[in-house]
Amino acid sequence: MNRPDTPAFDAPWQAQAFALAVALEERGLFSWAEWTAGLSVRLNGPDAASDGSDYYDHWLANLEALLAERGAALPAEVARTAAAWVRAAHATPHGRPILLENDPEHPG
């Protein structure tokens, strides 16, 4: 259990994945029952860390699976976009916002 003065998220991407799942559920892409069922399977799987340190990795995997199942974002699209963000991050000077347009392969 987190203490009151402990951040809920270890990294910004975790908060963003959390917020995205909540927003997509609110918009009806999936129900919260579907969400929790899929996440539970992942968290109780044989590859899950016993200390829960991979909780948001499973959260993200569950989100990606539901997006694919619903046809909202196929795995190849997710992989291409993730790779573009990584390239953009490497191409962005320190202290500047990372923008997808900074990807050297961006078609803009």
For the cut 70, the answer to whether the pLDDT of residue 1 exceeds it is no
CB 91 within 8 A of CB 102: yes
Which of the pair, 26 or 9, is modelled with greater confidence?
A: 26
Length in residues, the chain? 108
Neighbours of 69 (CB within 10 A): 12
Q: Calculate the average pLDDT of the chain.
A: 91
Quick: pLDDT tens for 32-52: 999 999 999 999 999 999 998
Alpha helices in 50-107 (DSSP H): 55-69, 75-91
CA distance 29 to 72: 9
- The mean pLDDT value for 28-33 works out to 96
* Nearest Cα residue to 101 out of 88, 90, 89: 88
Quick: pLDDT tens for 50-61: 998 999 999 999
